[in-house]
Structure formats: structure tokens, C-alpha cells
């Protein structure tokens, strides 16, 4: 009797889709043995809107605002990827001025995305204060976006062939002011978190993903770099003039949650560095390449991948020569990175699952599309 | 030894708390007291749509070319026009704009050749019904009525 009484079989626990730490609508089915996780299973699709199918019923220009709604915390990066893919099909290149402005805005977007990640990740683990500070600095970036293109979150900042809007008066100064403010603020976040013993113990050694695992799962972005692989598409296959800027690829060693935290913090510093270089040298000239009002790419296909804040964001576009895409396939970094969740969670504690989901930095709009 | 002392006196926690208390200063307040304090909206902000009229004679600027309706990804603009028998020109009759489906991408604004359709800085578009979100020509020309908040 006593034996069977104590023989607790495995417990199945549903986490989400309303759990606040699943960042939206991710449902994770946890199989537990006491506090230990035996396996996890993700249930996704709650936010599926069929973005790829929508593309087939829109013209090339019309689809641009929809890509902003996938990874909505990094809308500018998504827009850049799509524009670059269609530009490759059309065999045009954005003018140098447009490229420089694109780099500035996407790097600011990387900072904004990482700030949101830092705030929510810390909040999940129990440090509530950084969230407010991160949001405050993110607000400065969103204000720049609002002044530049008229929207804050789903910006639709870029057009196929270049930019729709010329920079506003005082754009450079505002961006540089932000850089000055922000560099001090990163030190502040580090002061709050990096030295904190609780923060260290919650992160170190949790959710280890080795370089080999990363390659197997196709994990990219800061998660791959935290495992020690120096792979950044901005260096490996530069786009939009990234080869002109001098920056480093921060890497970690162990591939645990702590390393990912360190790598992302370093990436924000590197982004500031890129922004400073780009603002110092915005070439004069036109902002739009010669593309017609009606875009009709020649029959063919193109794949362009960029380094979005969360990893490799790829757009595979197929044209049948008409004004509408024949097919748009998107490789979202969050979706691919989420695969590694099971690997990272096995053997971890239930409380660590929250930390691991946070460190994966997923956006469900992008996972489900 | 130093490590132990840091542990005993909770130095790392106090360091974090120092940052928190530094931000308690009234100068550091960033909360905006909306609606008492109006937010500063960017000049290019894409908010509620407006159909511009000629301020001198009150005629509409719209030439009923239908380009905005063609540019709209959500297909939510309907332009109604008829041909004037005397001048043989298109004249605008009705114009509907469904802001319940609008994502404020600004493509209609870009498409307009005469700057008649414009997305304004007005961002207060909440309403009580779906029908209220479908704006007709009159509302678009006057602009949305300002919402009265009671507090």
C-alpha cells in the first residue's frame, strides 16, 4: 500500500496559453516527475493569421505592412528583410543614403527588441524593476520611429527600393542623444542585474544548449552565439552596407541562459557602436531607387536572410511575373529557436522553464505567423 | 574573505537598490498624465483619416481617381463618383473609410496624387459600435468629433 501510495507517476501540466511568462499564446505541455521536467511539448498556432497566404492575394507593395505584424517588437527588421528580398528579385539596390538610414533604424530596432526581452525576462524571473527602466529607454526609440515614419510599433518604415520618408530635421542629433543616454543606461541595467546573486543563480547553468545542438536544431542569433559560434549574418554575408561598419560579434562559452544574457547585453553595446558610425556618415543623395509604381518582378525566385534581433530571418519570394507574389515563405527565427525548448528543458526544474522560455526570446506573432 | 563579507552584508543587492533609489528623484518621473497632459504626437503620425477640403471655397480636393482604394491592402476605401454632364469631369459623391479594418500603413496617403486623403495626428478613435468605425464623407471632411471624457 505504502509503495503504491508513494509511487507518484508522471504528472502532466499545461503551461499556458494564458500563462504570463509564455509571452503571448504559447502552450507548453510539461511532463513532470516531481519538480523535474521529463519532457515538454509546444502547442502553437493560437496566433496564426496565414500571413504567407495573405501575401498571395496582395501586390508586392501591399504585403509590406503585413510583415511588420509577425515579429511586432522588431517590425523594422522584418520590413528590411522583405524589401531586400523583393529588391533582389527586381535586381535593384537601395541608394546609399537609404541604406545608411535603414541600418540606423534596424540597429535601433535591435536595441528596442533586446530591451523588451531584458525587461520581460527579468520580470519572469522576479526582478520587476528593470522592466520599467527598459520600457523608458525603448520609448525614446519609439519616439524616433514616430517622428520618422509616423508609427511606433508596426512601422512600415521601408518601401521596396528605398525609403518613403526623408529623415526629419534633427534626426541625427536625436539618435546621437539617444546613444549617449543609452550607453549609461546599459551600465545601470548591469548594475541592477549582473552582480545580483539571485539573478546569477537563476541563470547560470540553466538551459544549456551546446554549439552542436544549436547547429542540429538550426538555432540562430544570440542563442547560437552564446554557445560560442561566431556567426552573424551581418558579417558573414553583409547586406545593406553592413560591411562598412566596424563592430564585434560577442560570443559566450557555455551556451547557458547566463551567456545568452551577457551576449545580448553586449549586442546592445555593439548596436550603439554601429548606430554612431552610421549617423556620422549618412551620404547625401536620393532615398529611392528607380522602381515603377507598379512592381512586376521578372519570373524567378530569391532568398534573402538578415540578422534580425532574434536570429536569422529569411524571406523566400517567388514571382510569376505578375504584380502579386506567387509564394512568400518566411523563415522566422523564433519558430526555429523554439524547437530547442524541449532539449533545454529536460531535467530542469519547473521554475527554470520560465527562465528558458524567456531566454529563447520568442514572439508568438512570428512563431505562428 | 571579501566574497564572504559581500555575502553577509548583501552588497550586490544593495548595489541594485542604489540604482532603484536613485530613480526615486522627482526629476526622474517619466509618466505622462494622460488625458490631463496631451502627448506630443509626431508630425508624420498616421492616425485618423481626413479628406481635405479647399479652405477657400469648401470644395473637396479629391478628384475621385480611386488610387487610394486600389492601394489599400485591406480594401476598405470605397470611392463613389459620378461624371458631371456639363464639364465631363469625375466628381466625388461618397467616400467611405472603414477604420475598424485599417492598419494605418499609410499606403493610401502615399498614393493620393493631390494630397486630399491624409492620415492625421488624431489618435482617439475608440467608439461603441462597429458601425461607428465606418466613416462617411462628411465625417472624413470634418474630422472625428473630439471625445469628451468625464473624470
Contact B71 A133 (CB under 8 A): no
What does the pLDDT read at residue B148? 63
Q: Which residue has the higher pLDDT, B127 or A125?
A: A125
So where are chain A's domains? Answer: 53-336
Q: Which of B105, B110, B111 to mutate to test the interface with A (most CBs of A within 10 A)?
A: B105
Torsion A351-A356-A359-A364 (CA) sign: negative
* Angstroms from B107 CA to nearest CA on chain A: 8
What does the pLDDT read at residue A1? 46
- What is the pLDDT confidence band of residue A154, given thresholds at 50, 70 and 90? confident
pLDDT 10s digits, A305-352: 999 898 899 999 999 888 889 999 999 999 999 888 888 888 888 888
Report whether pLDDT(B81) > 80. yes
Long-range pairs for A246-250: beta carbons < 8 A, 24 or more residues apart: A246/A273, A246/A277, A247/A273, A247/A274, A249/A225, A250/A225
Task: Please state, in angstroms and rounded to a whole number, the distance separating the CA atoms of residues A277 and A279.
Answer: 6
The answer to whether the beta carbons of residues A51 and A67 sit under 8 Å apart is yes
Q: Is B85 on the interface with A (CB under 8 A)?
A: no
Contact A146 B103 (CB under 8 A): no
Report whether pLDDT(A291) > 70. yes
Answer whether the bond into residue A268 is a cis peptide, omega within 30°.
no
Domains and CATH numbers, chain B: 49-142 (3.30.70.3270)
Contact B45 A164 (CB under 8 A): no
The answer to whether the beta carbons of residues B49 and B100 sit under 8 Å apart is no
Q: Which of A65, A165, A191 sits opposite B19 (nearest CB)?
A: A191
pLDDT 10s digits, A39-92: 888 888 888 888 889 988 889 988 989 998 888 888 899 999 999 999 988 888
Report whether pLDDT(A2) > 60. no
> A–B: how many Cβ contacts below 8 A?
69
What does the pLDDT read at residue A316? 92
Task: Please state, in angstroms and rounded to a whole number, the distance separating the CA atoms of residues A164 and A171.
Answer: 15
Kindly provide the residue ranges of all beta strands, DSSP E only, lying in A95-248, ordered along the sequence: 158-159, 162-163
Backbone angles phi, psi at A2, to 5 degrees: -65, -35
In this predicted complex, what is the ipTM? 0.81
Q: Which of A151, A170, A198 to mutate to test the interface with B (most CBs of B within 10 A)?
A: A151
Report whether pLDDT(A9) > 60. yes
Q: Compare all CA atoms of chain A with the CA of B3 and give the residue at the minimum distance.
A: A197
Give the full edge-to-edge strand order of the sheet including A325-331: A300-308, A311-319, A325-331
CATH number belonging to domain A53-336 = 1.10.645.10
Average pLDDT over residues A152-165: 87
How high does pLDDT run on average in chain A?
87
Task: Please state, in angstroms and rounded to a whole number, the distance separating the CA atoms of residues A134 and A35.
Answer: 32
Task: Please state, in angstroms and rounded to a whole number, the distance separating the CA atoms of residues B125 and B143.
Answer: 11
Q: Beta strand pairing status for B77-83 and B49-51? A: unpaired
Helix (H) and strand (E) counts in chain A: 16, 8
- What is the pLDDT confidence band of residue B29, given thresholds at 50, 70 and 90? confident
Q: Which residue has the higher pLDDT, A300 or B1?
A: A300
What does the pLDDT read at residue A318? 92
What does the pLDDT read at residue A3? 56
Contact B16 A168 (CB under 8 A): no
pLDDT 10s digits, A102-138: 999 999 999 999 999 998 998 888 888 888 888 988 9
The answer to whether the beta carbons of residues A221 and A333 sit under 8 Å apart is yes
A11 forms beta bridges with A32
Regarding pTM above 0.95, the answer is no
Amino acid at each position: 500500500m505504502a509503495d503504491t501510495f508513494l509511487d507518484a507517476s508522471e504528472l502532466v501540466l499545461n503551461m499556458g496559453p494564458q500563462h504570463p511568462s509564455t509571452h503571448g499564446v504559447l502552450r507548453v505541455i510539461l511532463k513532470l516527475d516531481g519538480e523535474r521536467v521529463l519532457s515538454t511539448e509546444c502547442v502553437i498556432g493560437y496566433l496564426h493569421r496565414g500571413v504567407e497566404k495573405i501575401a498571395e492575394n496582395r501586390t508586392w507593395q501591399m504585403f509590406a505592412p503585413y510583415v511588420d505584424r509577425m515579429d511586432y517588437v522588431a517590425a523594422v527588421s522584418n520590413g528590411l528583410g522583405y524589401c531586400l528580398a523583393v529588391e533582389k528579385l527586381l535586381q535593384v539596390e537601395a541608394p546609399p543614403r537609404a541604406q545608411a538610414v535603414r541600418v540606423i533604424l534596424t540597429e535601433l530596432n535591435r536595441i528596442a527588441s533586446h530591451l523588451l526581452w531584458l525587461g520581460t525576462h527579468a520580470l519572469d524571473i522576479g526582478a520587476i524593476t528593470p522592466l520599467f527602466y527598459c520600457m523608458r529607454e525603448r520609448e525614446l526609440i519609439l519616439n524616433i520611429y514616430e517622428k520618422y515614419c509616423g508609427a511606433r510599433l508596426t512601422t512600415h518604415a521601408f518601401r521596396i527600393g528605398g525609403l518613403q520618408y526623408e529623415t526629419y530635421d534633427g534626426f541625427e542629433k536625436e539618435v546621437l542623444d539617444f546613444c549617449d543616454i543609452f550607453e549609461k543606461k546599459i551600465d545601470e541595467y548591469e548594475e541592477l542585474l549582473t552582480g545580483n546573486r539571485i539573478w546569477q543563480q537563476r541563470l547560470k547553468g540553466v538551459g544549456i544548449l551546446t554549439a552542436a545542438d544549436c547547429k542540429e536544431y538550426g538555432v540562430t542569433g544570440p542563442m547560437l552565439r552564446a554557445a560560442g559560434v561566431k556567426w552573424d549574418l551581418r558579417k558573414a554575408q553583409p547586406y545593406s552596407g553592413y560591411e562598412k561598419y566596424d563592430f564585434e560579434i560577442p560570443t559566450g562559452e557555455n551556451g547557458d541562459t547566463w551567456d545568452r544574457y551577457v551576449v545580448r547585453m553586449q549586442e546592445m553595446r555593439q548596436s550603439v557602436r554601429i548606430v554612431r558610425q552610421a549617423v556620422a556618415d549618412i551620404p547625401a543623395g536620393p532615398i529611392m531607387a528607380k522602381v515603377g509604381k507598379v512592381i512586376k518582378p521578372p519570373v524567378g525566385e530569391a532568398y534573402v536572410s538578415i540578422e534580425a534581433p532574434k536570429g536569422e530571418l529569411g524571406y523566400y519570394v517567388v514571382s510569376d511575373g505578375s504584380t502579386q507574389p506567387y509564394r512568400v515563405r518566411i523563415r522566422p527565427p523564433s519558430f526555429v529557436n523554439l524547437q530547442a525548448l524541449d532539449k533545454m528543458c529536460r531535467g530542469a526544474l519547473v521554475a527554470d522553464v520560465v527562465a528558458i522560455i524567456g531566454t529563447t526570446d520568442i514572439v508568438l506573432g512570428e512563431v505562428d505567423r | 574573505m571579501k566574497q564572504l563579507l559581500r555575502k553577509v552584508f548583501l552588497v550586490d543587492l544593495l548595489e541594485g537598490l542604489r540604482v532603484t533609489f536613485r530613480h526615486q528623484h522627482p526629476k526622474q518621473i517619466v509618466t505622462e498624465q494622460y488625458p490631463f497632459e496631451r502627448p506630443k504626437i509626431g508630425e508624420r503620425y498616421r492616425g485618423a483619416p481626413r479628406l481635405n477640403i479647399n479652405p477657400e471655397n469648401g470644395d473637396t480636393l479629391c478628384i475621385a481617381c480611386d488610387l487610394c482604394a486600389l492601394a489599400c491592402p485591406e480594401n476598405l476605401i470605397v470611392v463613389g463618383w459620378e461624371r458631371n454632364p456639363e464639364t465631363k469631369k469625375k466628381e466625388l459623391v461618397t467616400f467611405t473609410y472603414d477604420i475598424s479594418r485599417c492598419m494605418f500603413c499609410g499606403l493610401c496617403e502615399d498614393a493620393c496624387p493631390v494630397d486630399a486623403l491624409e492620415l492625421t495626428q488624431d489618435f482617439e478613435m475608440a467608439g461603441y459600435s462597429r458601425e461607428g468605425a465606418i466613416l462617411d464623407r462628411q465625417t472624413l471632411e470634418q474630422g472625428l468629433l473630439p471625445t469628451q471624457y468625464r473624470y
